[in-house]
Amino acid sequence: MNPFAALHPALAALSDGPKVLPATGQAQEFLQRFDLDEQYDRMRTSDEKIVNDIAETPSNSIYVETPPLPRTEEHVFQWFVDGSVKTYFLGTLVEHERNTPVLLGQIGAAAVKREDDGRIHAPSGHARRKLILLLNKSQISPGVWDRTKAVLRDSSGRLALELVDTNDDSPNPTGGKEPRSRAAHRDNWQMRLEEKDLLADLLSEHDRTGAWIAIDGGIGKEFKVQTFDRGFVGVIKNFSKEQIFQLASRGRTVQLSLFDLLAKLQVSHRTAAFVRGEGHVAFWYIRIREQRHLEYPLMGVLKIEFPNPHRGLVDTETITHLSRALVAERSVSPHGKDPRWHAHLYPIYQAEQVIKNGFFSDETLRAGVKWPSLAAAR
């Protein structure tokens, strides 16, 4: 049975009137040429490139030792959330003088749980996958859009299918207007919303048991402070390098670029905590791997973001405690399987694999997704 059968009525509705210029081979993966984590972090911090104050108490040290806190001593982080996305260019829809690329996104998010004995598994109900069709609504007639949306709504397929307008106000970290790039960013934003929904479900577990949650990526505007105000940290493997730190320490002010700050950061140490936005998010950096084993001084460092709903100084003991638990997550490393291996926390890597292993392969997608006119020709 073709797993994409429920998608075909939507493709038929899209091609009922407009002309279709299909992609060679039916579907081509659209690859981003930059790191989205870094781009989103740059966007979040674009108005705050100068950091003036250490925002924790009672410590005002720029560097703090954080020796690993093993699970056998205290099991702090028990849930790990990550997502993945693959975007495919299906072709271009041409209607009179207007045109829009049509893309298909495979989106997923998963939460894995680690038991006290170290076993990591994905409990039932904690993995989500869906397909979305992406195109610019303003570049097709209302009738085509409405017919396509209707057949997706009536679909009985086993996959969740959605039609998404790429020309909206969702975050676009490059600021670009190239349609396929905008669609890929929209895909990534949809994935982030899936991660957010999983996190919302897990916060009740934190309230009940005290289990902390680590989610891949930073704390963006999708995480409303009133709801996501406890129990988790955002882990950023690749982050903006543009910030400057003007810090008072031991009676004097020092100015450090991020490169200076992190070059002096030793393994199993963290920086002081700072705040961004209006103070509702605290952040700091942790080095989880020694520089001498790496190719670049900023490798082996994580940026950690932490909800700070009261917008005051954050507690030094809490920040250090969480940092020690995160340092202990640095092994096992997926060396060679991911270019970001040096900054991976192993359980987050496992959550990502849960999603990727459940995706349809490129070969399956190319064989199963066909524009109606080409399918008839065969």
Residues with Cβ within 8 Å of 262's Cβ and at least 6 positions away in sequence, in order, are 271, 285, 287, 297, 298, 301
**Has residue 352 been placed in a domain?**
yes
Instruction: Please state, rounded to an integer, the average pLDDT across all residues of the chain.
Output: 84
* 307-330 mean pLDDT: 94
In a domain, 302, yes or no: yes
Q: Which domain holds residue 255?
A: 5-372
For residue 271, tell me if it sits in a domain. Answer: yes
Query: What distance in Å separates the CA atoms of residue 369 and residue 124, rounded to the nearest whole number?
Result: 28
Average pLDDT over residues 194-206: 92
Residue 29, in any domain of the structure: yes
Report the percent of the chain where pLDDT is more than 70.
87
Residue 224: what pLDDT? 78
pLDDT band at 376 (very low <50, low <70, confident <90, very high): very low
Per-residue pLDDT of 257-295, as tens digits, reads: 999 999 899 999 999 999 987 888 999 999 998 887 776
pLDDT at 378: 47
- Structural domain tally of the chain? 1
* Residue 74 domain flag: yes
Q: Say yes or no to pLDDT of 125 above 90.
A: no
- Residue 59 inside a domain? The answer is yes
DSSP state of 155: -
Give a yes or no: residue 377 inside a domain. Answer: no
In a domain? residue 378: no
Proportion of the chain above pLDDT 90, given as a percent: 36
| DSSP for 310-366, written as a single string | T-SPEEHHHHHHHHHHHHTT--S--TTT-TTGGG--HHHHHHHHHHHHHSPPHHHHH
